[in-house]
Amino acid sequence: MKAVILAAGRGENLLPYTEKEQKEAIQVSGKAVVRYVVEGLWKAGIREFVVVVNDKGKQIEDALDGIDASMEFIRQVTPGISGAIRDGMERVDDYFVLAFGDIIAPDNFYSELIGRYNESGRPVLSTVPVYEGLDTYGLVKLNERLHIVKEGSTLALAGAYVLPKGEFSEFLDYLESIADRAAYFIWSGPWVDVGFPEDLLSAIENLLNRKDSFISNRATISSTAIIGKNVVIEEGAIVEDYAILKGPAYIGKNAYVGSFSLIRDYSSIEEGAVIGAYCEVAHSLIGRRAVIGSKSYITHSVIGTEARIGASAVTISYPAALKRKGERKFGALISPGGELSHGSLVGPAFRK
Amino acid sequence: MAHLIEHYRKLGMDNFTAFKRAILSIEGDHAILVVIKGDPRIFFSKRNNPLKIGVADGMTLISSDSWSMFMVTNKIIPINDEEFGYISARERYIEKFSGERVDTNSRLYTEDTESLVSSHEGYESFMHKEILESHLAVRETLRSMMRETEIVSKAIKSLSEARRIFVVGAGTSYHAGLMFALRLQKAGLTSIPVIASEHHYFRATEDDAVLVISQSGETMDSLIASKHYRANGARILSLTNTLGNSISHESDIALHTRAGPEVGVAATKTFTSQVAALLFLSSNLLGEDVEYLKEAEQTVTNSLQAMGYALEIGTQLCKKSNAYYLGRGLGVPMALEGALKIKEIAYIHAEAYPAGESKHGPIALVEKGFPVVFINLGEFVGELSNNIKEMSARGAETIVLSINNRLSDNKELKVWREVSVSVSDTRLAPLAMAPLIQAIAYYAAKCKGVNPDRPRNLAKTVTVQ
């Protein structure tokens, strides 16, 4: 069975960040978002992938590099989500897996999907419990048969399906048309739909909660550094004198943490990022090769790939008016290659 | 089944044809394997139950899950619903009920070792799986109650002739029994709920009937209680979820719920099935029309639809170390069960009281942020609203689980969160409530990072006194 992966969205809720970097290619704790999807399906036995991309397709290709499976990248021509699905579906024969490339969930999510299909031989819809205020694509109502609705249920479509090839103009109408013979499952494990900047921070929490401590023996760590619980340090990383890594935290390949800096509580420092001396980083995603100047305070923020934050920059995270319910804090979203000058004071919910 | 196959063979059919005819002439969900003397094949059939074929060198396996075949092979041929066929060491044949032959080679796939080992047969946890199967458990239980008319009417006759009805159970089964006893008492019958281990202080006579409720049928306290009442000369009835257990063996009339096996230690779908079976029995006993139970399955499904709220409430309770569960009328047994679930699964200290009792003591502990969960089954709504108001006034975080109405529309009550599930008949309310309180406990456990399938210090079947 082939899988169609959607990675061509405009990422509107992450603008201006997504002007430069495709949402599904954003790296979180060592892997691009879309890679979590493809690897999850790979572990469930899928070996052929059709990935629908847009003009930033090269980023997605790079993100999926090295996976031992057949990968076909096709450029979206028909507009909208439904269009992307139709474009992808042209490359499959009958039953296929459809997966949204912006979902972060454990591998079991996908093995449950495939398992349910193998057991029933019917189309399968994944659903996930959500509560009021969570912006979702569509809900599933369970009556005598399944129905796809806009309200009246707290079970949302979870972004991975096994479907027969078919014709449609609107994807949700298509789901509704096959719902009467579809099987479903309710996923209650970790699950993040990456839409808004704060979702990237939830994704880090999700991922780091599932990781055990791991310190590569090819990392260079000062004997005076303090490493707490649930810390992952990849090869080539350098942790300088008196730095404190208070987990859960992730330090990517070749990343650098300067002297006296504190990295704490669900922070993810991606490959090649540099944190200067005397910084504090909390609840933040520091993108690949980004640079944080000395004495900065970065909290509840997303700093893009190769962004440059000057010395003594301070982010303010509270109170932020956010779309996702339950979240009240967000500091800054800095686009890939973006800059903050020395001594900047930004936030809450600052975007550049 | 065996006789049916034999019957068709006597009509001159070969083994496989006879097997297929037998399958097509029976009703219901199944995963069946059949061996016939002198035939090297294993025949199988599947409908809405798991069954898979494993393929190894010169060997074929068949099992309900790939996990069990894992030591031998991870090459799997799935069998779909409404298919039958046979396997031998080298042969695998599958056919749809419609007669169409299935190409088994195209179905063969390799399961990933790593993800299989880490999953519970592909599920997040057994407790989660079992909560989500509640509607099927209820459906099967009620179907069998309606089908087995002979034994059920014997049970109803026996209960209706009794002077008093003792209802015995432990833990969750006691709560189901309490609900049953309350329903009978409200209608003027004399029904006495008995906690199994406390049976000594409740003496029965020859005119009394005793209904013993136990999921496993092996609960030591309940078994001893039933022997005690048998010695008193009372008639013993039992309601269990397994066949051939000690308690049903000890009883004059053995009734069964059909919830299927339950692996998670905390009772979930078996409780909901007990509630369904007891609604059926009590309605019959009270001369009510049981037509309303046709909506039982849908009621449970409606409740599963509200999982999102359970997630939110469970995640909130996870931050607390104490909670109260309050209800009135039939809400009391549900409150007791809700508090029990969150204690045993999420290790949150919770106490249940009749809501009116809360002001005679328990309210002293309530301060800002103290969570109080109200079970609102739609009876005594005015009184319950007053209790909510009292709790809110003291800063409690009030959570209301409602049936068919919304108390939070009254802003004065300052309800923190309310879930409302709709039911077509208020008698079905406990069936809507059960999965909800279980799911809240489940999500609280998940949020705490503890394994809901294996709560500490607890065993599935309690065989000690």
CATH 3.60.20.10-classified regions of chain B = 2-120
* Dihedral pair phi/psi, residue A164, rounded to 5°: -80, 150
Question: Residue A347 — pLDDT band, cuts 50, 70, 90?
Answer: confident
Residue to mutate among B83, B84, B123, with most A CBs inside 10 A, is: B123
Query: What's the Cα-to-Cα distance from B204 to each of B170, B214, B230, B253, rounded to whole Å?
Result: 18, 20, 9, 17
- B 279-338 → A contacts, CB under 8 A: 298, 301-302, 304-312
DSSP string of A85-96? HHHHHTT--SSE
pLDDT at B119: 47
Nearest-CA distance A148 → chain B (Å): 13
Q: Say which CATH topology domain A2-195 has.
A: Spore Coat Polysaccharide Biosynthesis Protein SpsA; Chain A (3.90.550)
Residue of A nearest to B448 (CA): A209
**Inter-chain residue contact A153 with B109, CB threshold 8 Å:** no
The token duo for A102 is 């912006």
Using beta carbons and an 8 Å cutoff, which residues of A are at the interface with B? 43-45, 107-108, 111-112, 115-116, 118-122, 129-132, 134, 141-144, 152-156, 185-189, 209
Tell me what pLDDT residue B393 has. 94
Burial of A321 (C-beta count, 10 Å sphere; 0-12/13-18/19+): exposed
Which residues does chain A have within 8 Å of residue B138's beta carbon, measured at their own beta carbons?
none
List CB contacts (< 8 A) between B311 and chain A. 129-131, 154, 188
| Among chain A residues, CA nearest to B122 | A112
Backbone angles phi, psi at B226, to 5 degrees: -65, -35
Backbone angle region of A157, left / alpha / beta, with phi > 0 → left and psi within -120 to 50 → alpha: beta
Residues of B in contact with A119 (CB under 8 A): 50, 52, 78, 80
Chain B residues touching residue A112 (CB < 8 angstroms): 119, 122-124
Q: In this complex, do B119 and A153 lie within 8 Å of one another by their Cβ atoms?
A: no
Residue A75 distance to chain B (closest CA, Å): 30
Complex-level ipTM: 0.71
Q: Are B78 and A121 a contacting pair at CB < 8 A?
A: yes
- Write out chain A residues lying below 8 Å of B309, CB-based: 131, 154
Q: Which CATH architecture has domain B2-120?
A: 4-Layer Sandwich (3.60)
Minimal CA separation from B73 to chain A, in Å? 15
Per the structure block, which two tokens stand in for A150?
Answer: 């806009």
Q: Which residues pair with B107 in a beta bridge?
A: none
CATH number assigned to the domain with residue range B123-288, chosen from the 4 options 3.40.309.10, 3.40.50.10490, 1.20.1250.20, 3.40.47.40: 3.40.50.10490
Candidates 3.30.200.20, 2.160.10.10, 2.20.25.90, 3.40.1350.10; correct CATH number of A198-351?
Answer: 2.160.10.10
- The C-alpha atoms of residue A6 and residue A73 are separated, in whole angstroms, by 10
Fold adopted by B304-457: Rossmann fold (3.40.50)
Instruction: Give the nearest chain A residue to B49 (CA atoms).
Output: A119
| Chain A residues close to B438, C-beta within 8 Å | none
Least CB-CB distance to A155: which of B111, B305, B312? B305
Q: Are B191 and B164 in contact (CB under 8 A)?
A: yes
> Nearest-CA distance from A131 to chain B in Å?
5
**The two structure tokens encoding residue B229:** 């009442």
- DSSP 8-state secondary structure symbol assigned to residue A211: P
Sign of CA dihedral B433, B434, B437, B442: negative
Tell me the two tokens of residue A327: 């979240």
The DSSP letter of residue A274 is E
Chain B from 116 to 145: CB within 8 A of any A CB: 116, 118-119, 121-124, 128, 132
Q: How many helices (H) and strands (E) would you count in chain A?
A: 7, 35
Of A108, A132, A189, the CB nearest to B115: A108
pLDDT tens for each residue of A178-208: 998 898 888 988 899 999 999 999 999 989 9
Quick check: B279 and B293 in contact, CB under 8 A? yes
Task: List chain B pLDDT tens, one digit each, 465 residues.
Answer: 899 999 999 999 999 999 999 999 998 888 999 999 999 999 999 987 788 899 998 899 998 877 778 778 888 898 988 999 999 988 999 999 999 999 988 888 877 655 444 445 556 788 988 998 899 999 999 999 999 889 999 999 999 999 999 999 999 999 999 999 999 999 999 999 999 999 999 999 999 999 999 999 999 999 999 999 999 999 999 999 988 889 999 899 999 999 988 888 889 999 999 999 999 999 999 999 999 999 999 999 999 888 889 999 999 999 999 999 999 999 999 999 999 999 999 999 999 999 999 999 999 999 999 999 999 999 999 999 999 999 999 999 999 999 988 898 889 989 999 999 989 999 999 999 999 999 999 999 998 988 888 888 777 777 677
Whole-number Å distance between alpha carbons of A184 and B301:
13
Identify which of A108, A132, A156 has the shortest CB distance to residue B124: A108
Q: Residue B307: list chain A partners with CB under 8 A.
A: 129, 154-155, 186, 188
Question: Which residues 405-444 in chain B show a CB within 8 A of chain A?
Answer: 442-443
What residue spans in chain B does CATH classification 3.40.50.10490 cover?
123-288, 304-457
Which of B81, B115, B268 is the best mutation test for A, with the most CBs of A within 10 A?
A: B115
Average pLDDT across chain A, whole number:
92
* The pLDDT value given to residue B48: 78
Min Cα–Cα distance to chain B from A76, Å: 30
Give the A:B interface size as CB pairs under 8 Å.
Answer: 93
Q: A119: nearest CA in chain B?
A: B80
Q: Which residue of A has its CA nearest to B312?
A: A131
Buried b / exposed e over B310-326, threshold 16 CB at 10 Å, is: bbbbbbbbbebeebbbb
**Span A114-134, mean pLDDT?**
83
pLDDT tens figures, A255-289: 999 999 999 999 999 999 999 999 999 999 999 99
Q: Of A97, A116, A118, A212, which to mutate for an interface test with B (greatest number of B Cβ within 10 Å)? A: A118
Break chain A into its structural domains and give their ranges.
Answer: 2-195, 198-351
Q: Which residue in the set A118, A153, A209 is minimally distant from B78, CB to CB?
A: A118
Closest-CA residue of A relative to B106 is A1
Query: pTM of this prediction?
Result: 0.79
* Cβ contact B177:B167 at 8 Å: yes
Interface test with A, best of B124, B295, B450 (most A CBs within 10 A): B124
Say if the Cβ atoms of A142 and B446 lie within 8 Å: no
B49 and A CB contact within 8 Å: no
Bond into A319 cis (ω within 30): yes
Query: What is the rounded CA–CA span in Å between residue A296 and residue A10?
Result: 31
pLDDT in tens, A22-33: 999 999 999 999
CA distance A126 to chain B (A): 13
Q: What is the mean pLDDT of residues A127-137?
A: 73
